[in-house]
Structures are given as C-alpha cells and as structure tokens.
Amino acid sequence: MSQAQRILLIFFLQPIAFGAWFPHIPGIQTSLELSNTQLAIALAGLPAGTLTTLLFAGRLITRFGARRVTLCCYPLFLAAMLLPFLAPSQAVLMAVLALVGGSMSVLELGLNVLADEYETRTRHIIMSKAHGLWSFGLLTGTLIGSAVAGLGFAPFHAGLLISVPVLLLAAYALFGLQDSPALKTGEDERTGFRFPHPLLLAICFFTFGSTLVEGAVADWAAIFLRDTFSANPGLAGLGVSVFTLTVAVTRLLGDRLRQKFPVGRLAQGLALTGLVGLLLIWTAPVTPVALAGLSVLGIGAALAFPLGVTAASAAPGTSPASNVAVLSFIALAGFLAGPLLIGSVADHTDIRTGLMILAPTLFLSFLLAPALSKAGQRSLHEEPVCADA
C-alpha cells in the first residue's frame, strides 16, 4: 500500500463512528425530553470541545509530528464516540460531546496536516480526494446509523462493533506511514500569540461560511424531515445521507476541478450552488424535493474545507499546522453559534425557517472566495521537492 493510499484510508475510516451518531439525534432528543433549544445547547458541547482543543492542537502537531499525534488520538476519539449513547441528561450529553469534539479536532487536524505534507513533498494533489473519502466514511456511518435506528438495535453496541475494526485498520495504515517530522519552534511561536495575517483570515472566514452548512445539516436535517414531513427515523436519517453522498462525490472530483478552473471562481460557483439548494429546501412541498435541496446544498458546501486547508497552508503564518489550526478554529466557531441560533429560531418559528440562517453565511463565502486564488499564487513560487508513491 502506497503512502497516498494509507492517507486516503485513514481519512475514510475516521468519520464512520461519528456518522453513525447523527441518525440517533432525534431519538435522543425524545428520550431526554429536550426542546429544540435544549437540544441545541447540548449539541453545542461538540464545537465547544473542538474550539478549546484547537487553541493548542497546532503547536502539539508542530512539536510531535502529525503521524504520532494522529496515532495517539484515534483510540481516544473512538472511545469518546460511544459516550453520547449513554448520556442520561442534557448536561451529561453536552459534556461527553465536548470530549468527542476535543479528541476529534486534534485527530482531524493531524489528518489534514498529513495530507498537506504529502502534497508538499510530492506535488501529487490528494486533498480533495482525501476529503471525498472522508465524506464516504461519514456516509457509511450515517447509513449504518439509519439502519440501526430503523431496526431499533442498541446504538451503543453498534458503535462498539464499528470501533474495533476501524481502530485496527487505522493502526495498520498509520504504522506504515512515513513519520512526519516534528518542526522546530520558530521565533514567532516563542513570542506567543500573533494576530493571523489578513489573507489567512479571509480564507478562514470563507471556510466558515460553507462549513457551517455541514454542521447544520448534520445536526438538524433529520429533525427537519421529521417535523416538516413526518418522516420516520429511518427516512429522516437519509437526509444526512443524501447530503453526505453529494458532498463525497463532489470532493472526489475536486482535485480535477482545481486543475481546470481558477480556485476563486470555482469556490464562488459552489457557494451560489449552495444558495440554490437552500431555495429548494425553503420551497419544498414534499420530502423528495427537500432531499433534492439537501443534495444540491451538499454540492455547494463540498469543497470549502479542502480548498481552505490547501490555501491556509500556503498563506503567511507560523507553520502550515498552525495555519490549519487557525482555519479550523474559525471555521468551526460557526458550529458553536449555528446550532444555538437554528434551534432558537426553530422554537419561535419552525425548523425550515431556522435553516435559512445559512443563506448569509454562504453569501459571505461567495464574497471571500478570491482570497483562495491569492494564496494559490503564493504557493506556485515554491519549488517542488521529491516525489514518492
């Protein structure tokens, strides 16, 4: 198995357990007797844990290397992923989701740095393909979760059955990877916090606008289909699945699209596509049209994060790992505010109206997309290094 194939495999494996959680959110809301706002507060634990950990995750990876950190975090994440199914209250659910978010943030940052290091070392583009396989892993998890929810099988036991083979395969792939070097700490890191470069900030807020869509659909799509169209648990879970499928397919095409179109124009076109998907969701009279809207929305949101990671790595900053950590922090900050705002709007109006807060964030992505091209122009001046398989 080549180095690229090992990286792609660990991207695919990482979100399977995470995806299996989403179709169970409506059931957990019912069992804990939570309103939409109370559920939103509990779900905010995940981004809260993610954002807190990202404050030091970049330095951790810069110091110890992405492969070592990823290898340590994989079993921690899979163990944490079992805990939400056992939560007896809103407070405990929020706390365990914070543990999930914290372990997942370091793990996913390590994966992105591994892919970026490989691209830099070989000039072989794999970032969008890696994120495409990540989405297929998420889709695999959501389908498993939907089947478990529909059949009434205990989700904790299903999660345990998922975690063991995932961990074994991930360990096999990671042990065969080249050890990413720990980077020397530069003067910028010794002097403490530095305000991010304006170009990096523009890239981060571009990504914020589109990645908020992914979090919103993951948390609220099943509830939207249940409340608006009286969908049963199995059908409601398919809302996340169809969204994830179009995200995955679009990401598999992303590396080719990056070579055919200017990255800024590509990003703007996708943001507009996402707005079309929201229009379909707003006007959907029946479940199939709503699912179509979620599919189109998935196309629009698909490439924001992989494009953002590549651009952030090339932007001015302390190190690629630190830049990607800043990107992840700002992009995922919306996951903290988004669920709360959507839940609050849904309680005062309905969930369909709540989802429309995604429109201005997608428009923000449209406006800031040209920053990706500026970062790409900087990276073109760097000399290629060696190539490997």
- Render pLDDT for 329-374 as a digit per residue (tens, 0 to 9): 887 776 666 666 787 788 888 889 989 988 998 999 999 999 988 8
Residue type, 378: R
DSSP state of 85: G
pLDDT of residue 181: 55
Assign domain 3-181+196-379 one CATH number from 3.40.50.2000, 1.20.1250.20, 3.40.720.10, 3.30.230.10.
1.20.1250.20
pLDDT band at 290 (very low <50, low <70, confident <90, very high): very high
User: Taking 90 as the threshold, does the pLDDT of residue 383 lie above it?
Assistant: no
Residues 328 and 214: their CA atoms lie apart, in Å, by: 13
Burial class (CB in 10 A: 0-12, 13-18, 19+), 63: middle
All structural domains of the chain with their residue ranges: 3-181+196-379
pLDDT of residue 187: 40
What is the phi-psi region of residue 387: left when phi exceeds 0, alpha when psi lies from -120 to 50, beta otherwise?
beta
81 contacts 100 by C-beta, under 8 angstroms: yes
pLDDT in tens, 89-106: 999 999 999 999 999 989
pLDDT band at 300 (very low <50, low <70, confident <90, very high): very high
Closest CA to 351 of 170, 228, 192: 228
User: Taking 60 as the threshold, does the pLDDT of residue 185 lie above it?
Assistant: no
- Predicted model pTM: 0.71
Mean pLDDT highest for which of 8-12, 34-38, 134-138, 347-351? 8-12
Between 289 and 182, the more confident residue is: 289
